[in-house]
Amino acid sequence: MADLEQLRQEAENLRKKIREARMAVADSSLAEVAADVPGVNRVSLRSRKILRGHLAKIYAMHWATDSRNLVSASQDGKLIVWDSYTTNKIHAIPLRSSWVMTCAYSPSGSFVACGGLDNICSIYSLKTREGNVRVSKELQGHTGYLSSCRFLDDSRIITSSGDMTCALWDIETGQEVVNFSGHTGDVMSLSLGPDQSTFVSGACDASAKLWDVRSGTCRQTFTGHESDINAVSFFPNGQAFTTGSDDATCRLFDIRADQELMMYSHDMIVCGITSVAFSKSGRLLLAGYDDFNCNVWDTLKGERVGVLTGHDNRVSCLGVTEDGLAIATGSWDSFLKIWN
Contact by Cβ (8 Å): 121, 115:
yes
Cβ contact 202:230 at 8 Å: yes
CA 285, distance to chain mean position in Å, is 13
pLDDT score for 271? 96
| Residue percentage of the chain with pLDDT more than 70 | 100
Q: What pLDDT is stored for residue 74 in this prediction?
A: 97
Question: Which residues have C-beta within 8 Å of that of residue 58, sequence separation ≥ 6?
Answer: 72, 73, 74, 316, 317, 330, 331, 332, 334, 335, 336
Closest alpha carbon to 285 in 225, 337, 231, 247: 231
DSSP for 101-170 reads EEEEE-TTSSEEEEEETT-EEEEEES--TTS--EEEEEEE--SS-EEEEEEEETTEEEEEETTSEEEEEE
Question: Is the separation of the CB atoms in 294 and 307 below 8 Å?
Answer: yes
Give the closest residue to 243 by CA, choosing from 211, 267, 272, 275: 275
Direct distance between the N- and C-terminal alpha carbons of the chain, in angstroms, rounded to an integer: 59
pLDDT at residue 308, rounded to an integer: 95
Instruction: Report how far residue 101's alpha carbon sits from residue 317's, in angstroms, rounded to the nearest whole number.
Output: 10
pLDDT, position 53: 96
Q: Three-class SS of residue 82?
A: strand
Q: What is the pLDDT of residues 127-163, one digit of tens each?
A: 877 777 889 999 999 999 999 999 999 999 999 999 9
Per-residue pLDDT tens for 310-340? Answer: 999 999 999 999 999 999 999 999 999 999 9
Inter-residue contact 314 to 330 (CB < 8 Å): no
Q: Count the residues in the chain.
A: 340
Per-residue pLDDT of the chain (340 residues; tens, 9 = 90+): 778 999 999 988 998 888 888 888 878 889 888 888 998 999 889 999 999 999 999 999 999 999 999 999 999 999 999 999 999 999 999 999 999 999 999 999 999 999 999 999 999 999 877 777 889 999 999 999 999 999 999 999 999 999 999 999 999 999 999 999 999 999 999 999 999 999 999 999 999 999 999 999 999 999 999 999 999 999 999 999 999 999 999 999 999 999 999 999 999 999 999 999 999 999 999 999 999 999 999 999 999 999 999 999 999 999 999 999 999 999 999 999 999 9
**Measured CA angle at 208 (ends 71, 64), to 5 deg:** 15
Whether the Cβ atoms of residue 75 and residue 56 lie closer than 8 Å to each other? yes
Closest Cα partner for 124 from 103, 143, 145? 103
Name the residue among 185, 169, 188 with its Cα closest to residue 177: 169
- What is the Cα–Cα distance from 335 to 53, expressed in whole angstroms? 8
**What per-residue confidence (pLDDT) applies to 21?**
85
* pLDDT the model gives residue 25: 81
Please tell me the predicted confidence (pLDDT) of residue 321: 97
Would you give the distance in Å from CA 58 to the centre of its chain?
15
pLDDT of 18: 87
Dmax (CA) of the chain: 67
Separation CA 265–CA 246 (nearest Å): 12
